[in-house]
A and B are shown apart, each in its own frame.
Chain A
Amino acid sequence: MAGRSMLKQVLGAVVAATIVLWLANLLTQGDKATGAGWVLYFVGAVLVMAIYLFFAARPIWQVNTREVVMMAIGAVLYGVFSWATNVFQLPSVSFVSLRPAVAIPIFMGLAFGPVVGFFSGLVGNILGDALTGWGVYPVWDLGNGLMGLIPGLLHAWPNADERVRVTKKVLLWVSGLMVLFVVLTVLFPQVEHPWAGTTAGQWTPVLLILLVAILLVAWWALRAQPDVAAAVVWGALGVIVGMGFASIADIWVNGYSVATAIIGEFLPAAGTNLVFDIVLVPILYAAYQNARQRTGR
Chain B
Amino acid sequence: MLVTWAYKPRNTLIQRLDPRARLIFTACAMLAVILVWDLRWLLAWLAFALLTYRAARLTWKETRRFWLVVLPLITFLVLITALTGRGGEEAYQTTHPLFTLAIGPWRWVISVEQVVFAAAQFARMLTLATLGLLIPFTIHPAHYGVAFRGLGLNDKFAVATDLAFRLVPSVARDFQTTLDAQRARGYELERKGAGLIRQIRNLAPLIVPVTIQAILNGEDIIDAMDLRAFGAKPRRTWLVELRYRPADYALIALGLLVLGGTLAAKAAGYGAFWVPPALLGG
Q: Judge whether A205 is part of the interface by a CB distance below 8 angstroms.
A: no
Interface membership of B201, Cβ < 8 A: yes
Asked if B77 CB lies within 8 Å of chain A CBs, one says yes
Cα A290 to Cα B224 with chains together (Å): 24
A287 touches B167 (CB 8 A): no
Complex interface residues of chain B between 198 and 251 (CB less than 8 A to chain A)? 200-201, 203-204, 207-208, 210-212, 214-216, 218-219, 221-222, 225-226, 230-231
**Interface segment, A17-25, A75-83, A182-190, A231-239?**
A75-83
Is the C-beta of B86 less than 8 angstroms from some C-beta in chain A?
yes
Please give me the residue from chain B that is nearest to A194 by CB atom.
B86
**Cross-chain contact of B214 among A73, A275, A287, A297 (Cβ < 8 A):** A73
* Contact in complex: A71, B160 (CB < 8 Å): yes
Partner of B74 from the list A69, A89, A130, A133 (CB cut-off 8 Å) is A133
List residues 203-228 of chain A with CB under 8 A from any CB of chain B.
Answer: none
- Decide yes or no whether A293 CB sits under 8 A from chain B: no
Q: Mark A259-297, 1 if CB is under 8 A from B, else 0.
A: 000000000000000011001100110011001000101
Tell me whether A135 and B203 are in contact in the complex, defined as CB-CB below 8 angstroms, given that A72-B160, A76-B167 are known contacts.
no
Q: Is the CB of A79 within 8 A of B168?
A: yes
Interface residues of B in 178-200 (CB under 8 A from A): 196-197, 200
**Minimal beta-carbon separation of A229 from chain B (angstroms):** 18
- Residues of the A chain whose Cβ atoms lie less than 8 Å from the Cβ of B80: 89
Residues on A with beta carbons closer than 8 Å to the beta carbon of B160: 68-69, 71-72, 75, 119, 123
Partner of A69, one of B163, B175, B211: B163
The answer to whether A72 and B128 have CB atoms under 8 Å apart is no
Q: Dominant SS at the B interface? A: helix
Known interface pairs A133-B132, A280-B200; A65-B226 also in contact (CB < 8 Å): yes
- Which among B86, B196, B211 is the interface contact of A104 at CB below 8 angstroms? B211
Q: Does A84 contact B (CB under 8 A)?
A: yes
Q: Does B30 belong to the interface (CB within 8 Å)?
A: yes
Contact with B along A47-68 (1 / 0, CB 8 A): 0000000000000000111111
Question: What is the bound-complex CA distance between A248 and B175, given in angstroms?
Answer: 34
Q: Could you say which residues of chain B place their CB within 8 Å of the CB of A35?
A: 267
Interface residue A243 (Cβ < 8 Å from any Cβ of B): no
Residues of B within 8 A of A195 (CB): 84, 86
CA distance A35 to B125 in the complex (A): 22
Stretch at the interface among A7-15, A93-101, A167-175: A93-101
Q: Are A284 and B216 in contact (CB under 8 A)?
A: no
* In the complex, chain A residues whose CB is within 8 Å of the CB of B167: 72-73, 76
Q: Which of B27, B74, B163 has the most CB of A within 10 A?
A: B163
CB proximity of B129 to chain A, nearest CB, Å: 3
Q: How far is the CB of B260 from chain A (nearest CB, A)?
A: 13
Besides the contacts A65-B225, A76-B164, what 11 more A-B pairs have beta carbons closer than 8 Å?
A: A67-B156, A72-B162, A75-B164, A76-B167, A77-B171, A100-B207, A101-B207, A130-B132, A133-B129, A193-B86, A283-B201
Interface set of A (CB-CB < 8 Å, partner B): 32, 35, 63-73, 75-77, 79-81, 84, 86-87, 89, 93-95, 100-101, 103-104, 107, 119, 123, 127, 130-136, 192-193, 195-196, 254-256, 275-276, 279-280, 283-284, 287-288, 291, 295, 297
